[in-house]
Amino acid sequence: MAPSTERPNLAHPDSSTIRSLFNAISDQYDFLNSFLSFGLEAFWRKQLVREALRGFRCDSILDLGAGTGKSLNIFLKAHSFRYAAGCDFSDRMLQKAKERLGDSAVLVAGDFHELPFPDGSFDLVTGSFILRSVQDMNRFLSEAKRVLRKGGRVVFLELTRPRNPFVWQYVYQPYLKFYIPFSGKLFSRHKNAYQFLSQSIQVFPDPEQLKTDFESAGFKHVSLKPLSFGAVTIIAGTAHE
Ligand SMILES: C[S@@+](CC[C@H](N)C(=O)[O-])C[C@H]1O[C@@H](n2cnc3c(N)ncnc32)[C@H](O)[C@@H]1O
């Protein structure tokens, strides 16, 4: 059979394309994450942890699309959990998480649209930079809600588009159009990864649309917290009150 010449849709890639992409870049992922965010990702992750734990009694945590375990590691340093778990469908990313976290968290290979955990297992379900990979938002949110206990919280951190027209036109568009492709050339072995990053940010729903999705899925007290002029947003909600 002739090799397929079809190019993957990198604004909305399917699950197997996403998995191959993260398996391919697992060795460079932490460096790139920091490089492409000018080091801001460390600050954003700390804000995520602070927002998630603020005024909330929490014994158990699940990190969806845990990747190399960076956010989960910050959670574990900030708070003592009775049970901590991470889930990801990329074996290579999970391997990096295992190296980082050792036995401090249970790491499970699986798809976050179909979580291998019983109902009501967790106080907190979190995820960083994963919402752009979600294939079916309703299913994803209903799974997150299913594994939460009554009154449990979801808190996600995601890349979004700045609202300020000046920042959008003079900072963020050049960033998407020049800085990311330039980095793609510099690390050209996996240029699809940069295209996914750039294209998925451009088509990702506005935070207000996400808020509506969370409310439709039955989450209460849904809040949006933009950081760095809205380049990222923390979205949080409460399950089953
Ligand atoms: C951009 S990385 C984020 C990794 C990590 N959360 C972080 O903050 O650095 C997205 C991660 O989500 C994982 N992922 C994407 N789709 C997934 C799915 N359907 N089920 C499980 N993991 C998924 C990828 O394998 C990847 O590790």
233 three-state secondary structure: strand
Q: Residue 241 — pLDDT band, cuts 50, 70, 90?
A: low
Smallest CA separation from ligand 1 atom 26, residue: 67
Report which residue type is found at 53: L
pTM (two decimals): 0.93
CA distance 104 to 87: 14
Task: State residue 120's pLDDT score.
Answer: 96
Structural domains in the chain, CATH included, are 15-159+202-238 (3.40.50.150)
Helix, strand or coil for residue 86? strand
Confidence at residue 7, expressed as pLDDT on a 0 to 100 scale: 52
pLDDT for the residue numbered 179: 86
pLDDT in tens, 34-83: 988 999 999 999 999 999 999 999 999 999 999 999 999 999 999 999 99
Q: How far apart are CA 67 and CA 22, in angstroms?
A: 8
CB 222 within 8 A of CB 237: yes
Residue-wise pLDDT tens digits, 134-143: 999 999 999 9
Place of tokens 């391919």: 24
Q: Is pLDDT of 2 > 50?
A: no
Phi then psi for 136, rounded to 5 degrees? -140, 95
SS3 198: helix
Compute the C-alpha angle 206/233/42, nearest 5°.
145
Ligand 1 atom at minimum distance from 45 CA? 8
Q: From residue 103, how far is each of 78, 88, 89, 109, 176 by CA, in Å?
A: 17, 16, 19, 15, 38
**Ligand 1 pocket residue status of 90, Cβ below 6 Å:** yes
Nearest atom (ligand 1) to Cα of 19? 25
Q: And the tokens for 118?
A: 């019983």
Q: Scan for tokens 């506005």, then name that residue.
A: 206
Whether residue 21 has its Cβ less than 6 Å from ligand 1: no
Between 202 and 105, the higher pLDDT residue: 105
Confidence of residue 186 (pLDDT cuts 50, 70, 90): confident
